[in-house]
């Protein structure tokens, strides 16, 4: 990702970027290399018709980057899990729960916690707590669904599943990468 203040500079670099990469035997992916308007809405550079300029958004490395207001009212760039990546992660978790439904519960819980820890380690950024919580809820739903299909006699209702979750808890969502500067240690 390259960022430019002026559109003319971005166009000039785009014109020569393919040639420079070609010197080293590299090529640019035509669908992934593009110019994206991503200006701060605070600049007031909206359309001449007075329409609400949102500053744009784009997906990169599994995150959707977008403009939003901070708690003190300033415009900042925020990140959340990209919709396609979220769906793919949920799908993989559902598939895993389906394949492992007959394994002992303690083993399932340990493996699910490892998977959740890995997900939180990558997507656990400031401002993405809602997506992390949603992923945990989807994991719990999937786990209950496939435990319910272990046999045809007993039904794993939510009333029965809540005590099981208390005995075999899943890791709560956690922001691992903070965007805020750390305070100095005295």
Q: For 130-168, what is each residue's pLDDT tens digit?
A: 999 999 999 999 999 999 998 877 788 899 999 999 999
Global pTM reads 0.81
Question: CA 34, 36, 39 angle in degrees (round to 5)?
Answer: 160
- Are 80 and 63 spatial neighbours (Cβ–Cβ below 8 Å)? yes
User: Widest CA span of the chain, in angstroms?
Assistant: 68
CA atoms within a 13 Å half-sphere pointing along the CA-CB vector of 25:
0
Query: Who's near 107: CB < 8 A, 6+ residues apart?
Result: 100
Query: Who's near 77: CB < 8 A, 6+ residues apart?
Result: 65, 66, 67
- The torsion defined by the Cα of 106, 110, 116 and 118, in degrees rounded to 10, comes to -170
Q: For 22-76, what is each residue's pLDDT tens digit?
A: 899 998 888 878 877 877 787 655 444 444 445 688 888 999 999 888 888 888 8
């Amino acid at each position: 990702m390259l960022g430019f203040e002026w559109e003319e500079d971005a166009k000039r670099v785009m014109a020569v970027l393919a040639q420079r990469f070609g010197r080293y035997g590299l090529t640019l992916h035509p669908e992934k290399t593009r110019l994206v308007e991503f200006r701060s809405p605070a600049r007031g550079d909206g359309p001449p018709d007075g329409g609400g300029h949102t500053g744009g958004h784009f997906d990169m490395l599994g995150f959707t980057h977008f403009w939003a207001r901070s708690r003190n009212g300033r415009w900042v760039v925020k990140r959340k899990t990209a919709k396609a990546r979220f769906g793919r992660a949920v799908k993989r978790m559902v598939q895993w729960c389906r394949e492992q439904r007959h394994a002992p519960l303690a083993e399932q819980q340990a493996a699910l916690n490892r998977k959740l820890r890995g997900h939180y380690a990558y997507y656990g950024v400031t401002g993405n707590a809602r997506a992390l919580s949603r992923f945990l809820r989807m994991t719990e739903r999937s786990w209950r669904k496939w435990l319910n299909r272990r046999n045809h006699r007993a039904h794993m209702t939510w009333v029965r599943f809540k005590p099981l979750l208390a005995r075999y808890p899943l890791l709560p969502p956690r922001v691992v990468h903070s965007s805020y500067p750390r305070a100095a240690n005295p």
